[in-house]
Amino acid sequence: MQSWTETLIPLFRMRKVFENEQLTLFKIEGALTTQNAELWEEEFALIMQRLDHPVIFDCASLRTTNHALTAILQHLMSDKMFFLNLSTPVRNMLRSAGLGANVLD
């Protein structure tokens, strides 16, 4: 039998902090883990479907990342999707996957 702590899914939030007709900025807070990677993918997909202009995701408050983020982004990445304040390992993984144009320093 699993304890309640083993069944918890780590929380995250993508909060819109700025928007005009040319750009939307989301702040990502929380953790990305294998347990919630599918939820992340759904959230990214919903955001990108609703908006027809560039979107920047600020990852300064993203606590935990793993290879799931790279897989999600490779699957969903578009020329309208950009990432700011990624950790060095994630930034390097995205660049080596050919997604460097979407990484803002």
pLDDT of residue 76: 82
Q: What is the mean pLDDT of the chain?
A: 85
Burial classification of residue 69, based on how many CB atoms lie within 10 Å of its CB (0-12 exposed, 13-18 middle, 19 or more buried): buried
- Hey, what domains does the chain have and what are their CATH numbers? 23-104 (3.30.750.24)
What's the start-to-end Cα distance of the chain, in Å?
46
Q: What are phi and psi of 69, to 5 degrees?
A: -65, -45
Percent of the chain clearing pLDDT 90 (strictly above): 43
Q: Render pLDDT for 66-97 as a digit per residue (tens, 0 to 9).
A: 677 777 777 888 899 999 998 888 888 889 88
Percent of the chain clearing pLDDT 70 (strictly above): 88
Query: What is the value of pTM for the model shown?
Result: 0.84
CA distance 31 to 97: 22
Give the sheet arrangement for strand 55-64, strand by strand: 12-19, 24-31, 55-64, 81-84, 103-104
